[in-house]
C-alpha cells in the first residue's frame, strides 16, 4: 500500500476525501507527503518520502494532471529513483509491494518543515538550472535530522534492504 499524505491545499485541488488513517498501518517507506505551491504562475507539488525525506518537485501541473494524480506521482517516483541511481530491480521490488493507493492527511510536522525548506531551496536553484537538475541536487542537500544526512543515500539504502 502507498499512502499519499496531502496538505489541505492539495486536498482541495484534488477534490478528494481522506481515508480514515486509523484503519491503516502504513509503512513509512511507502508514505509520501505532498504539498501544492505556486512558483510564479505555475502550480507545483513537492513530494517527500516520510521515512527517508527523499524528495522531488513536479512543476507546471494543470487541472487535468490533478485528475490523474496517482499515476503522475507513481511515474515521478519511478523516474526520479532511476535518475538518482536506483537499479530497475530495486525500483521493481519497491513497486511490487504497492497494491493500493490511499490519501491521508499529513502526519508529520518535521516532514512539512523540511518540505518548506525544499521549496525555498528550489526557488533559489531554479533560477540557474532546469527542474531535472534541481531535483537531482535536492537529494544531495544535507538534512541534519537524517542519520545519513543525505536523503538520496537514505532512500537508496532502504531500497537495497527490500
* Span 115-124, pLDDT tens digits: 999 999 999 9
C-alpha to C-alpha distance for 74 and 118, rounded to whole angstroms: 20
Taking the domain 2-160, which CATH number applies?
Answer: 3.30.420
Residue pLDDT, tens place only, 32-89: 999 999 999 999 999 999 999 999 999 999 999 999 999 999 999 999 999 999 999 9
Question: Do 38 and 49 meet the contact criterion of CB atoms below 8 Å apart?
Answer: no
* 113, burial (CB in 10 Å: exposed 0-12, middle 13-18, buried 19+): exposed
Domain ranges of the chain: 2-160
Amino acid at each position: 500500500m502507498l499512502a499519499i499524505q496531502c496538505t489541505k491545499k492539495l486536498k482541495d485541488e484534488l477534490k478528494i476525501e481522506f481515508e480514515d488513517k486509523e484503519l491503516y498501518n502504513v509503512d513509512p517507506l511507502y508514505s509520501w507527503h505532498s504539498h501544492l505551491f505556486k512558483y510564479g504562475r505555475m502550480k507545483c507539488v513537492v513530494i517527500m518520502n516520510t521515512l527517508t525525506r527523499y524528495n522531488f518537485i513536479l512543476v507546471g501541473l494543470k487541472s487535468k494532471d490533478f485528475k490523474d494524480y496517482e499515476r503522475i506521482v507513481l511515474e515521478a517516483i519511478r523516474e526520479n529513483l532511476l535518475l538518482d541511481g536506483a537499479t530497475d530491480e530495486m525500483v521493481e521490488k519497491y513497486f511490487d509491494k504497492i497494491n493500493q493507493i490511499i490519501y491521508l492527511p499529513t502526519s508529520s510536522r518535521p516532514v512539512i518543515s523540511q518540505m518548506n525548506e525544499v521549496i525555498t531551496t528550489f526557488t533559489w536553484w531554479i533560477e540557474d538550472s532546469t527542474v531535472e537538475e534541481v531535483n537531482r541536487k535536492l537529494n544531495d542537500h544535507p538534512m541534519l535530522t537524517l542519520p545519513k544526512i543525505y536523503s538520496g543515500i537514505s532512500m537508496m539504502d532502504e531500497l537495497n534492504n527490500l
